[in-house]
Chains A and B, each alone.
Chain A
Amino acid sequence: MDIPDHISQLHKKGFKARLQGFVTTVPLIGWFLGFLGAVLVEYSLGDLISYYLGLPKIPVLFGLLSVLKKPLLIPGTIGYLILVYGLPILLIVKSLQKPANKLAGFLDKRPVTVAALVHLGLFYGALHLWADMSDYRLLVLKLTMIAVMLTLSINVINGYMGEFSCSHPGFMALGAYTASTITLLLFANDKQFGDALLPEALGLYFFPLALIAGGIAAALGALVIAIPSFRTRGDYLAIISLAFLFIVKSLIENLEFVGGPRGMSSQPHYSTLPMVFIVMVLCIWIINNFVRSTMGKALNAVRDNELAAEAMTVNTRKTKIITFMFGAFWAGVAGGLFAHVLRYVNPGSFGIQRLAEILAMVYFGGLNSVTGSIVGAVSINILSEALRPLEIYKWIIIPLLLILVMLFRPTGLIAFTEFKPKELMKPRQQLGEE
């Protein structure tokens, strides 16, 4: 038992140890409740607080945007963050520590699905309110969730299987164009495909099918990469996959019926926040199930030593085909969502720039890790939005950060870990204990 140790440490050490002791005894649901509370405070009092602190409006992305434009707003922004986020979260988490642990203990005894749904529902509620306060926030949130899907799906290929694939934006483009073509053709009156073929009311129900179709188109494209991957690895496969990316891009540029280089616009407004959130959760859940099963661990075996994997009955060809198609499928789904978030696609958005962003997120967050992908995608994405006022310097700061991570943690921030939802949601404090 390490609890007595832990308690004694709490008494011996100073503020830092006590804070650490406190933080580690709050279950996940406690933090979600705290976040929800903070968002509620911001929702009801945000305007008032920002008025008294001399801020022109509520800081949208935790104040980073406005601070970078007008450094004079720094004290006000810090005050706002403390009043709206810091204090409420701390108070709620502290006062609800015991009930939250009890609740977590109660949920721990239920099936993991029930517990996960409760947690996700709570988290979604908070996010929804948070995003409700500004359209910009909503957009950033949706794009971040899509980035999580992209990062996770490329991690399956580049991290778990260790093949350096550069064709992810290509898969994304295939998904985006397929899904857009379906929704524009069937449910929208637009200049490209003419009038809607089906009543628009059906559209939202058909949208998941359009996304799946996009995913399947991307997965079929992935076969083109999977087959050379039997014979080549490393640099050569990277070059082949890069070639695939350019082929897809110039193919779309030259296909007149999808708009050529002009792209397609006026996709119906189907990528709502709940839709993106649900698809992202499904993506995380399915990928995590897969990589934790023995069948998914075969990817690691193929990466670490293909010869040994073959000798231990692993069908390496099948594993490679499945992995490429699986990763590409989710990139395609993410592309479909992306097209319907921006309600505009053109081939230009699926080029080298996008590839660099995706690779930065996956290598920053950590290879072979679901948690790492989420952390990498969220932090790089939010950072690149928040640093927007710095304009060109943004592209100095983010690569610099990446270099630092590569120097100190060559495999990324949180690499080679397993994402265990059940562990994450369990109570952090024994019941009946002080």
Chain B
Amino acid sequence: MALLRVDNMTHYFGGLRAVHNYNLILEPGHIVGLIGPNGAGKTTIFNLISGIHTPTEGNIELEGHNLIGRHPHEIAGMGLGRTFQNLLLWRHMTVLEHVKMACYSQLEYGIWGAFFGSRFCHQEEKRLTAKAMHLLETFDVAHFSSQLAVSLPYGAQRRVEMARAMATNPKVLFLDEPTAGMTPDELNRMISIIRKIHEDFDVAIFLIEHRLKFVMELCERIQTLVFGEVIAEGTPEETKNNPHVIEAYLGSEDLH
């Protein structure tokens, strides 16, 4: 059974058809890429699957559970972690608090425990701190743990956001342009980080990317989206040689 399955998803923003008949099957442990020119609807697809928008038509299942109509926090709690294109970090929170916050659905203590500072609540907080520190070490940002996340260098902010997404214990990780605004050095580092996450955490990854080098190197399968429709799907080699893709996407790059 597929881990994540999207069938015939269509979405309209008013009269604009943003996504048309979109299908996706994500098997456990796979890395799938979604490419396409600006405004093709890539982020919309992410937002539809993670519950920020509800699709006009179609069906989405995570491990056989229907996701349509659920709140984003429920979907996230079911095992769909994500990052954002423009790094939605919390302005007044430290790096450690960011990662602990993402464990919200794993909190065992109730509201009364939080009010009265029960012993159990303190134990839980300690457990979460340990877990969060471990994650921060994995992403090599542990030394920033007590700093405000927004004050870090850009690359470190990206890694904090990834650590935060991993703290939700995802089975599927959605990465929305993880290398946007990165230097080539940082890009290579990001490739190795994503490989590491993929191996260490046994998580399926679905990513949006602009840089073809990155997608070609990481993904097993690539979907090409143009004007809300998938025009090609296949291995990196197939995608690279597909005439439709070259016309719609790579072709425009050749003009430079």
Contacts and interface: CB of A to CB of B under 8 A. Distances in A.
Q: Decide if A and B are genuine partners.
A: yes
Contacts of A304: 89-93
Contacts of B128: 294
Interface string B239-252: 00000000000000
Interface in A285-342: 285-286, 289-290, 293-298, 300-301, 303-305, 307-317, 322
Contact of A313 (B92, B105, B109, B125): B105
Interface stretch (B6-14, B95-103, B189-197, B215-223): B95-103
A151 B162 CA distance: 37
Interface string B19-32: 00000000000000
A368 interface: yes
B224 interface: no
B130 interface: no
19 contacts: A289-B116, A293-B117, A297-B100, A297-B101, A298-B101, A298-B104, A301-B90, A304-B92, A307-B84, A308-B84, A308-B88, A308-B90, A311-B84, A311-B88, A312-B101, A312-B104, A312-B165, A313-B73, A313-B76
Given A294-B100, A295-B104, A312 B164 contact: yes
B71 interface: yes
A289 B114 contact: yes
Interface of A: 285-286, 289-290, 293-298, 300-301, 303-305, 307-317, 322, 368, 416
Contacts of A285: 117
A24 B116 CA distance: 31
A392 B128 CA distance: 54
A314 B92 contact: no
Interface in B79-128: 81-82, 84, 88-93, 97, 100-107, 109, 111, 114-117, 121, 125, 128
5 closest A-B pairs by CB: A308-B88, A304-B90, A313-B105, A289-B117, A310-B72
Given A301-B90, A304-B90, A305-B88, A314 B101 contact: yes
A294 B103 contact: yes
B179 interface: no
B58 interface: no
Interface in B49-91: 50, 52, 71-73, 76-77, 81-82, 84, 88-91
A307 B52 contact: yes
A310 B107 CA distance: 15
Contacts of A312: 73, 76, 101-102, 104, 164-165, 167-168
Nearest to B71: A310
Interface of A is mostly: helix
A290 B115 contact: yes
Nearest to B78: A313
Nearest to B102: A312
Contacts of A307: 52, 72, 84, 88
B194 to A, nearest CB: 19
Q: Which of A285, A296, A297, A307 has the most CB of B within 10 A?
A: A297
A294 B111 CA distance: 11
Nearest to B91: A304
Contacts of B164: 312
B117 A294 contact: no
Contacts of B73: 309-316
Given A298-B104, A304-B91, A314-B104, A290 B114 contact: yes
B97 A297 contact: yes
A302 B104 CA distance: 12
A295 B114 contact: yes
Nearest to B97: A297
A372 to B, nearest CB: 14
Contacts of A305: 88-91
Contacts of A368: 92
A284 to B, nearest CB: 12
Contacts of A310: 52, 71-73, 76
A63 to B, nearest CB: 40
A295 B121 CA distance: 10
Given A313-B102, A316-B73, A294 B107 contact: yes
Contacts of B91: 304-305
A295 B114 CA distance: 7
A74 to B, nearest CB: 44
A368 B121 CA distance: 22
A257 to B, nearest CB: 34
Contacts of B72: 307, 310-311
A306 B24 CA distance: 28
Q: Which of B50, B77, B101, B105 has the most CB of A within 10 A?
A: B101
A289 B125 CA distance: 12
Nearest to B161: A308
B114 to A, nearest CB: 4
A294 B115 contact: no
Given A294-B103, A308-B84, 15 more contacts: A293-B114, A294-B100, A294-B101, A295-B104, A297-B97, A300-B90, A304-B92, A307-B52, A310-B72, A311-B81, A312-B104, A312-B165, A313-B76, A313-B103, A313-B105
Given A308-B88, A308-B89, A310-B76, A296 B114 contact: yes
Contacts of B105: 313, 315
A420 to B, nearest CB: 12
A156 B163 CA distance: 28
A311 B50 contact: yes
A314 B77 CA distance: 9
Contacts of A316: 73
A181 B107 CA distance: 40
Contacts of B77: 313
B92 A315 contact: no
A286 B115 contact: yes
A368 B148 CA distance: 15
A111 to B, nearest CB: 11
Contacts of A309: 73, 90, 101
A322 B125 CA distance: 20
A314 B105 CA distance: 7
Contact of A416 (B88, B92, B107, B111): B92
B121 A293 contact: yes
A311 B125 CA distance: 21
A285 B91 CA distance: 26
Contacts of B84: 307-308, 311
